[in-house]
């Protein structure tokens, strides 16, 4: 029997739209810490605040966009969200104060939260159900490619040229993402009657309650990751040179790209535990190496190991959450995943920023290790509890 194809024109369009949106996102995320410290004379806590405000607005948008995507249609929300993201990207041009940056990052976060939710939902709709783990991994690879190129280009521009060029390039990438999204033939998903009739607010309108335990684990792992995305460029400058941060992201993201296709296929064929446990172990080892890095070689090696571990974990967690939802709840499930992910990164950026300011970056990454271990323990407890319930049901049915 012939396999249903993943690589349709519309899947490529949604994937490349995601790629260019994340290009703008990662260029800004990696270069803004340097811009804040060197141009705006800011501190570590202010770097964390800029990240947290962006992700706070992203988190606030996700519950509503998840519900609206399922109720009002993917196509309409795709147009609005990516237009908002592109418009916010243009506003960085000519920015010269920390206060203005804080306001703009908060506004930009709404567009980001909406765009990632809708793009992820549309991608899941376009992937054949039997190949969803593999398909979501491929879709995630385009984000990973942006993670390879975006930080490298962002740090290169901010260190060799100036912030104006950086902001113009980000605006162009956002515009391309919007144009590509307008060409996607979005599948129509039929609502259930109770979804159409329901008017009173319920938590199930904005959260996929069946996936909350996995979503919490996602948030804890993202908390640990926030130290990388928010502070790796200034940490690299402290232990070597800012150029090392570009190579860190490149090696990290290359290993992510290597890990994800295999992770998706193994998820579909071998099961979730075959991916989760090795992924958590590798993520932990990589973060430990990063916390004690005293040379460029160790710094870059940690990036590769973290990329392998974290690269396997994220699509696995997303597939678990989306797979537990019905077709007409996929938008809410996707927004639940991203809401907890962004919450972890947002809180982590703020908390770890203060840890770094009052101690050191090495201690900050050591604290991140504890959160990864905590997530691993919680996942083991969840799986053990689920196994006991399954065995009990089997005994009762027999």
Tell me how far apart the alpha carbons of residues 215 and 195 are, in angstroms, rounded to a whole number: 23
- Centre a 10 Å sphere on the Cβ of residue 193 and count the other Cβ atoms it contains: 8
Per-residue pLDDT, 312:
85
* 178 CB neighbour count, 10 Å cutoff: 23
User: Is residue 363 pLDDT above 50, yes or no?
Assistant: yes
The predicted-structure confidence for 140-157, as pLDDT tens digits, reads as follows 888 878 877 888 899 889
pLDDT of residue 61: 83
How far is the first Cα of the chain from the last one, in angstroms, to the nearest whole number? 34
**Mean pLDDT, residues 66-82:** 81
Kind and range of the H or E element at 187? none
Separation CA 245–CA 277 (nearest Å): 28
pLDDT reported for residue 236: 87
Provide CB contacts within 8 A for 259, sequence distance 6+. 307, 308, 309, 311, 312
Digit-coded pLDDT (tens) for 303-339 = 999 999 998 888 888 888 877 766 667 777 777 888 8
Place of tokens 């806590």: 45
At 128 the three-state DSSP class reads: coil
Q: Are 71 and 97 in contact (CB under 8 A)?
A: no
Which carries the bigger pLDDT value, residue 140 or residue 370?
370
Half-sphere exposure of 166 (CA within 13 A, CB side): 27
Number of H helices, E strands in the chain: 13, 0
By CB atoms closer than 10 A (0-12, 13-18, 19+), residue 386 is exposed
Give residue-wise pLDDT tens across range 256-313. Answer: 878 877 777 777 788 888 889 999 999 999 999 999 998 889 999 999 999 999 988 8
Q: Return the pLDDT at 300.
A: 93
Check residue 195 and give its pLDDT.
46
pLDDT band at 396 (very low <50, low <70, confident <90, very high): low
Angstrom CA distances, 226 to 56, 74, 222, 277, 313, stand at 14, 30, 6, 21, 15
* List of long-range contacts for 298-301, beta carbons under 8 Å, 24+ apart: 299/236, 299/239, 299/240, 299/244, 299/248, 300/244, 300/247, 300/248, 300/251
Specify the pLDDT at position 47.
83
Dig out the tokens for 282 from the structure: 């590798």
| Tokens 């995601």 belong to residue | 18
The more confidently predicted of residues 126 and 13 is 13
Min mean pLDDT across 41-45, 311-315, 390-394 is at: 390-394
CA dihedral 384, 385, 390, 391 (to 10 degrees): 70
Q: How large is the angle between the packed helices 212-239 and 243-270, nearest 10 degrees?
A: 150
Q: Which residues, including other chains, have CB under 8 Å from residue 129's CB and lie 6 or more apart?
A: none
Confidence class for position 124, pLDDT limits 50, 70, 90: confident
- The pLDDT, as a whole number, for residue 188 is 66
Interval 188-224: pLDDT, tens: 665 544 444 455 556 556 677 777 888 999 999 999 9
Give me the mean pLDDT over the 87-91 stretch.
95
Residue 348 pLDDT greater than 70, yes or no: yes
pLDDT of residue 329: 72
Instruction: Say yes or no to pLDDT of 255 above 50.
Output: yes
Average pLDDT of the residues of the chain: 84
Q: Is a pLDDT exceeding 60 seen at residue 389?
A: no
175 pLDDT band, cuts 50/70/90, is: very high
Alpha carbon of residue 210 to chain centroid: 21
Q: How many CA atoms lie within 13 A of 132 on its CB side?
A: 20
**Interaxial angle between packed helices 243-270 and 296-323, expressed in degrees from 0 to 180 and rounded to the nearest 10:** 40
Domains in the chain with CATH codes: 9-185+208-397 (1.20.1250.20)
The token pair that represents 272 in the structure block: 């979730």
Q: For the ranges 12-16, 109-113, 259-263, 309-313, which has the lowest average pLDDT?
A: 259-263
Dihedral class, residue 200 (left if φ above 0, else alpha if ψ from -120 to 50, else beta) = beta
Question: What is the pLDDT at residue 136?
Answer: 80
Find the range with the poorest average confidence among 20-24, 117-121, 257-261: 257-261
């Amino acid at each position: 029997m012939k396999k249903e194809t993943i690589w349709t024109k519309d899947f490529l369009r949604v994937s490349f739209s995601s790629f260019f949106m994340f290009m703008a996102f990662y260029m800004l995320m990696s270069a803004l810490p340097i811009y804040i410290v060197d141009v705006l004379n800011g501190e570590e806590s202010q770097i964390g605040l800029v990240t947290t405000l962006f992700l706070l607005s992203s988190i606030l948008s996700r519950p509503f966009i998840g519900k609206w995507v399922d109720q009002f249609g993917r196509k309409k929300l795709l147009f609005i969200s990516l237009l908002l993201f592109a418009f916010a990207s243009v506003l960085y041009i000519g920015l010269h104060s920390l206060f203005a940056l804080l306001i703009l990052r908060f506004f930009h976060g709404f567009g980001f939260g909406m765009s990632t939710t809708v793009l992820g939902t549309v991608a899941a709709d376009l992937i054949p159900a039997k190949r969803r783990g593999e398909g979501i991994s491929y879709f995630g690879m385009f984000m990973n490619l942006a993670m390879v190129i975006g930080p490298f280009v962002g740090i290169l521009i901010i260190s060799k040229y100036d912030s104006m060029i950086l902001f113009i390039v980000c605006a162009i990438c956002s515009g391309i993402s919007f144009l590509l999204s307008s060409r996607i033939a979005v599948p129509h998903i039929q609502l259930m009657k109770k979804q159409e009739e329901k008017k009173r607010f319920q938590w199930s309108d904005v959260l996929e309650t069946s996936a909350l335990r996995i979503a919490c684990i996602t948030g804890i792992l993202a908390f640990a990751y926030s130290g990388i995305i928010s502070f790796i460029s200034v940490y690299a400058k402290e232990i070597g040179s800012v150029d090392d941060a570009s190579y860190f992201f490149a090696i990290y993201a290359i290993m992510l790209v290597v890990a994800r296709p295999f992770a998706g296929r193994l998820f579909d064929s071998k099961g979730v535990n075959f991916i989760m446990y090795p992924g958590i172990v590798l993520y932990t080892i990589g973060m430990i190496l990063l916390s004690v890095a005293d040379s460029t070689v160790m710094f870059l090696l940690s990036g590769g190991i973290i990329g392998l571990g974290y690269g396997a974990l994220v699509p696995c967690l997303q597939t678990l959450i989306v797979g537990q939802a019905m077709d007409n709840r996929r938008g809410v499930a996707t927004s639940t995943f991203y809401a907890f992910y962004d919450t972890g990164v947002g809180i982590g950026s703020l908390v770890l920023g203060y840890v770094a300011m009052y101690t050191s970056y090495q201690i900050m990454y050591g604290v991140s290790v504890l959160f990864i271990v905590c997530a691993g323990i919680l996942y083991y407890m969840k799986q053990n509890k689920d196994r006991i319930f399954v065995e009990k049901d089997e005994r009762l049915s027999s």
